[in-house]
């Protein structure tokens, strides 16, 4: 009878310990030790697993079209961090799904400044022979990713302090502030 009371007390204690439920499953690794090898192997979680508290939206390319990819992060990423994530490109599981970036390995952005809800991206000096057929997609990735951030309304590109005409989704050049609407023709559907 005494062990039943202990068991009941343990159940009540565990039930009221404040461990909250989680909306998404997550993998659990066995503790180190001699019995760790007795567990069955589990597939590793994809790099874009929903583990953070905040949505980070990045625009990558799939079959010549822009597609949004939502990653979960713990802290709101800065503009510089978003640009770095675009340059780094899709995570391995995203690459396996066919996603690419037009910004991989390039230093398109030399400096970033923010004024209110506008981001100004100072472009690096052009490199000889670096013309890209997907130049519009590169600018589209930057504009769509940055304006997906709640605090950013539009993006302006400059070089040496002067506005630079960059390609929009319809092929025209614009020196004015750009939004995701300027690239609606490039969005996957």
- Looking at the domain assignment, is residue 148 inside a domain? yes
- Nearest Cα to 101, choosing from 49, 72, 144? 144
β-pairing, 166-167 vs 173-174, is: antiparallel
Residue 144's domain comprises: 54-186
- Looking at the domain assignment, is residue 38 inside a domain? no
> Exposed, middle or buried: residue 180 (CB in 10 Å: 0-12, 13-18, 19+)?
buried
β-pairing, 109-115 vs 118-123, is: antiparallel
Contact 183, 143 (CB under 8 A): yes
CA distance 55 to 76: 8
Q: Read off the pLDDT of residues 23-67 as tens digits, 9 standing for 90 and up.
A: 444 444 444 433 333 333 332 223 444 567 889 999 999 999 999
Collapsed DSSP state (helix, strand, coil) of residue 50: coil
- Nearest Cα to 178, choosing from 188, 164, 189? 164
Collapsed DSSP state (helix, strand, coil) of residue 20: coil
- Looking at the domain assignment, is residue 17 inside a domain? no
- Looking at the domain assignment, is residue 8 inside a domain? no
Mean pLDDT of the chain: 77
Tokens of 135: 């130049």
- Looking at the domain assignment, is residue 84 inside a domain? yes
Q: Read off the pLDDT of residues 114-150 as tens digits, 9 standing for 90 and up.
A: 999 999 999 986 644 444 557 889 999 999 999 999 8
- Looking at the domain assignment, is residue 149 inside a domain? yes
- Looking at the domain assignment, is residue 176 inside a domain? yes
- Looking at the domain assignment, is residue 113 inside a domain? yes
Confidence of residue 11 (pLDDT cuts 50, 70, 90): very low
pTM more than 0.75: no
Tokens of 14: 């565990």
Task: Quote the number of domains for the chain.
Answer: 1
């Amino acid at each position: 009878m005494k062990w039943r009371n202990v068991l009941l007390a343990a159940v009540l204690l565990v039930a009221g310990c404040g461990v909250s439920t989680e909306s998404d499953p997550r993998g659990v690794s066995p503790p180190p030790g001699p019995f760790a090898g007795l567990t069955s192997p589990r597939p590793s979680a994809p790099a874009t697993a929903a583990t953070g508290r905040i949505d980070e939206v990045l625009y990558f390319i799939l079959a010549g079209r822009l597609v949004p990819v939502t990653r979960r992060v713990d802290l709101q990423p800065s503009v510089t961090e978003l640009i770095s994530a675009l340059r780094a490109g899709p995570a391995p599981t995203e690459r396996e799904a066919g996603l690419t970036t037009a910004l991989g390995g390039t230093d398109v952005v030399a400096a970033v400044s923010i004024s209110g809800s506008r981001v100004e991206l100072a472009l690096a000096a052009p490199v000889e022979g670096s013309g890209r057929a997907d130049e519009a997609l590169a600018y589209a990735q930057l504009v769509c990713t940055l304006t997906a951030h709640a605090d950013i309304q539009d993006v302006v590109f400059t070089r040496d302090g002067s506005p630079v005409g960059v390609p929009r989704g319809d092929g025209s050049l614009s020196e004015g502030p750009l939004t995701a609407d300027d690239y609606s023709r490039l969005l996957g559907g």
